[in-house]
Amino acid sequence: MQTTSTPTHCPYCALQCGMNLNPTPEGGVEVAERADFPVNRGALCGKGRTAPEVLSSRVRLTSPLVRSGGELRPATWEEALDRIAGAFSRARAEHGPDALGVFGGGGLTNEKAYTLGKFARVVLGTSQIDYNGRFCMSSAAAAGTKAFGLDRGLPFPLEDIPKTGCVILVGSNLAETMPPALRYLTELKENGGTLIVVDPRRTRTAEQADLHLAPRPGTDLALALGLLHLVVAEGRTDEAYIRERTSGWEEARAAAMAHWPEYVERITGVSVPQLREAVRLFCAPENAMVLTARGPEQQSKGTDTVSAWINLCLATGRAGRPLSGYGCLTGQGNGQGGREHGQKADQLPGYRKLTDPAARRHVAEVWGVHPDSLPGPGRSAYELLDALGTDIRTLLLMGSNPVVSAPRAAHIEDRLRSLDFLAVCDVVLSETAELADVVLPVTQWAEETGTTTNLEGRVLLRRRALTPPPGVRSDLEVMHELAARLGVEKGFPTDPEEVFEELRRASAGGPADYSGITYRRLAEENGVFWPCPAPADSAEPEGRAGVEGASALSPSGEPAPGVRPGTPRLFLDRFATEDGRALFAAVSYRAVAEEPDDAYPVLLTTGRVVAQYQSGAQTRRVAELNAAAPGPFVEMHPRLAERLGASEGDAVAVVSRRGRAVAPARISRAIRPDTVFMPFHWPGEGRANTLTNPALDPTSRMPEFKVCAVRLERLGQG
């Protein structure tokens, strides 16, 4: 056990706040302020502050469980691993490799995400791997890649936000999802900048705005097109920038001009004067940014919606310039890194395309296999889950709880139950683990070393501060053991730094190039922004060095000669497209997949609350967080409540074409009268994702979490 304070990072959201873990007399750890990490400068939300509670939770799993006679019972690691290997071998023999599925998570470290992708393709030989990050930022990733040739959530550090002139924040409630980041917006306003928030609800973040636009859920695309129409009509485009740094403008311009402000007002409910005011505020300063999050992204037209916001940045000359640009606020702890290292259905490490022959050759060489042995792209997350029990017979699931977090969750729960065999690695018996044939208890963030990549593209080192409890093993050990049982003795190390060294080689030359990053640099420099290639004149310039040893920094604190700095700001000289120009997308408005009608007359939108994280598997086990947010609710406007005859706290059934959820009414003027809101952190009868619509974006394959049609029934007094 450590006897001194250990600097590390929070296990939860994409801000990856810095914190110190101090040993306690009882042998555990407690959180202490870590002011030297620039992202949060010591500030933490309640989730980060209480994170150690899950480490010593009495519901923590410390023994493998295997299903026997219909019940889960404790078992040895040998028995549990043998069962998994046996089930996977049988399924492969009977149905072929694509009958084996793998589902990962955006909270896994880079080392685990990398190893999981390699495990699926090299050991199992399956193409059927994807992860829950598909449900998070895939639309922004698709739109960013199209426009800029490269997707990195924020192409600039958070510290640039207070120095810009105007921020349009679209579909993000930072005050609840990552509270320490709110200070960037506060400082923006203190510096004289303006904040425009786009959200159907007047959230705590929207309350900070100079202008709050509350469009009808699912109409952000029309809103962005209407703003671009006004930018053109009012002569506010940056013609020199468009000429020199972009292509595709004429088509995008023509598409936007079909979206007259009055038409946009009818679709969105945002008035023409408000649209004009937004354009005035956005165009007045020299610099401005658009930041999107799940609101516009989690739609069946999420990619087009983000493209429309990017178009607005490009038409006004805001991208690829200092203190300006478009960025996506990734949600999960390693939502950025999780999509770069190969656990995504269509990607290889280094953010390479699985269909690119050169990428396949490079990665196959690092892995010591023939390129032709690597499978092609598999199904996206929802499609993979939907195929369970039919085409996919067995599933290995790591770092995810789809019974709560997947759209149309009751159906996905049925699919999981229909599998021949389900293996789950987790720290507690999550709702998904409860369905498993084998559950493996794994180490947590403070018990293992590894790297994550935060929403800025800053690669960070999480350090081990605690010895794991007996009976628990790391995900890397699990994959090592399973690989050996399935006939692959080498190539699956259990030491995270050894994995990272291989990841560096696999990523070298790719869009997300980590080859110049080492654990020692991460420790010394408080993180390094990718891309960070190794110097061209040295194959292994810095090599494996742990976090001790000779410094990679010069006495001035800068990277030493021969050590490449990372890249905090992208696209300043050129975009990452072939011709260096950003590409406009000609997009037009289309309606949501499920419009309200007589049977389902109200819109449902879903989201998060400050005291819970994602499916709540960890945070629902923390007493303080549970007391603050004990269960779901249905937020509705007083006018809607009056029509329903509901008072505060009354039980309300929310019914969609996919199922029914029940939760108490919470009456608030902060939401539009045509819309209700439910947070999605809970299982059982209040599970919001029972209701959500799995209609997929054609490009990103993102389900439409953010809007569907429902009807309401008042059930009884609260």
Query: Using CB under 6 A, which of the segments 11-19, 184-192, 212-220, 253-261 binds ligand SF4?
Result: 11-19
Between 194 and 615, whose beta carbon lies closer to ligand SF4?
A: 615
The minimum distance between CB 266 and ligand SF4, in angstroms, equals: 38
Please report whether residue 644 would count as binding ligand SF4 according to CB under 6 A. Answer: no
Cβ neighbours for 298, distance < 8 A, ≥ 6 positions apart: 135, 139, 702, 703, 704, 705, 706
Query: Using CB under 6 A, which of the segments 176-184, 294-302, 341-349, 676-684 binds ligand SF4?
Result: 176-184
Query: Using CB under 6 A, which of the segments 43-51, 302-310, 559-567, 626-634 binds ligand SF4?
Result: 43-51
Query: Using CB under 6 A, which of the segments 44-52, 54-62, 440-448, 482-490 binds ligand SF4?
Result: 44-52
Please report whether residue 196 would count as binding ligand SF4 according to CB under 6 A. Answer: no
Residue (of 654, 605, 666) closest to 630 by Cα position = 666
CB atoms inside a 10 Å sphere around CB 554: 11
Please report whether residue 180 would count as binding ligand SF4 according to CB under 6 A. Answer: yes
Please report whether residue 455 would count as binding ligand SF4 according to CB under 6 A. Answer: no
Please report whether residue 10 would count as binding ligand SF4 according to CB under 6 A. Answer: yes
Instruction: Enter the DSSP assignment of 280.
Output: H
Rounded Cα distance between 60 and 17, Å, is: 24
Query: Using CB under 6 A, which of the segments 41-49, 388-396, 401-409, 432-440 binds ligand SF4?
Result: 41-49
Please report whether residue 185 would count as binding ligand SF4 according to CB under 6 A. Answer: no
Instruction: Collapse the DSSP code of 676 into the 3-class scheme (helix H, G, I; strand E, B; otherwise coil) and give the result.
Output: strand
Please report whether residue 283 would count as binding ligand SF4 according to CB under 6 A. Answer: no
The minimum distance between CB 106 and ligand SF4, in angstroms, equals: 13
Between 183 and 353, whose beta carbon lies closer to ligand SF4?
A: 183
Task: Count interface residues toward ligand SF4 (CB under 6 A).
Answer: 14
CA angle 239, 244, 245 (to 5 degrees): 100
Please report whether residue 519 would count as binding ligand SF4 according to CB under 6 A. Answer: no
Please report whether residue 184 would count as binding ligand SF4 according to CB under 6 A. Answer: no
Cβ neighbours for 425, distance < 8 A, ≥ 6 positions apart: 396, 397, 398, 399, 439, 440, 442, 475, 478
Q: Bridge-partner residues for 439, per DSSP?
A: 65, 424
Between 117 and 450, whose beta carbon lies closer to ligand SF4?
A: 450
Please report whether residue 16 would count as binding ligand SF4 according to CB under 6 A. Answer: yes
Q: Within 13 A of 712's CA, how many CA atoms are on the CB side?
A: 29
Please report whether residue 44 would count as binding ligand SF4 according to CB under 6 A. Answer: yes
Question: Residue 506 — φ and ψ, nearest 5°?
Answer: -65, -30
The minimum distance between CB 466 and ligand SF4, in angstroms, equals: 18
- Interaction with ligand SF4 in 48-67: which residues (CB under 6 A)? 48
Q: H or E stretch including 221?
A: helix 220-233
Residue from 12, 119, 249, 682 touching ligand SF4 (CB under 6 A): that is 12
Q: Do residues 393 and 91 lie in contact, with contact meaning Cβ atoms separated by under 8 Å? A: yes
Residue (of 515, 496, 615) closest to 132 by Cα position = 615
Between 40 and 334, whose beta carbon lies closer to ligand SF4?
A: 40
Please report whether residue 264 would count as binding ligand SF4 according to CB under 6 A. Answer: no
Q: H or E stretch including 21?
A: strand 18-23
Of the chain, the end-to-end C-alpha distance in Å amounts to: 49
Please report whether residue 45 would count as binding ligand SF4 according to CB under 6 A. Answer: yes
Query: Using CB under 6 A, which of the segments 15-23, 294-302, 599-607, 680-688 binds ligand SF4?
Result: 15-23
Residue given tokens 């000669």 in the structure block? 561
Rounded Cα distance between 127 and 100, Å, is: 9
Query: DSSP per residue over 307-349, as a string?
Result: HHHHHHHHHTT-SSSTT-EEEE---STTHHHHTTTT-STTEET
The dihedral of CA 117, 458, 509, 379: what is its sign? positive
CB atoms inside a 10 Å sphere around CB 716: 9
Between 281 and 610, whose beta carbon lies closer to ligand SF4?
A: 610
Residue (of 47, 59, 23) closest to 466 by Cα position = 23
Q: Within 13 A of 554's CA, how many CA atoms are on the CB side?
A: 9
Residue from 7, 13, 641, 696 touching ligand SF4 (CB under 6 A): that is 13
Between 101 and 335, whose beta carbon lies closer to ligand SF4?
A: 335
The minimum distance between CB 153 and ligand SF4, in angstroms, equals: 14
The minimum distance between CB 199 and ligand SF4, in angstroms, equals: 19
Q: Which residue is nearest to ligand SF4 (CB)?
A: 48
Residue from 7, 17, 52, 374 touching ligand SF4 (CB under 6 A): that is 17
Please report whether residue 21 would count as binding ligand SF4 according to CB under 6 A. Answer: no
Between 51 and 84, whose beta carbon lies closer to ligand SF4?
A: 51
SS3 letters for 124-158? HCCCCEEEHHHHCCHHHHHHHHHHHCCCCCCCCCH
Largest CA distance in the chain: 73
The minimum distance between CB 455 and ligand SF4, in angstroms, equals: 10
Query: Using CB under 6 A, which of the segments 147-155, 175-183, 184-192, 574-582 binds ligand SF4?
Result: 175-183
Residue given tokens 């003795």 in the structure block? 489
Which positions lie near ligand SF4, rule CB under 6 A? Answer: 10, 12-13, 15-17, 40, 44-45, 47-48, 178-180
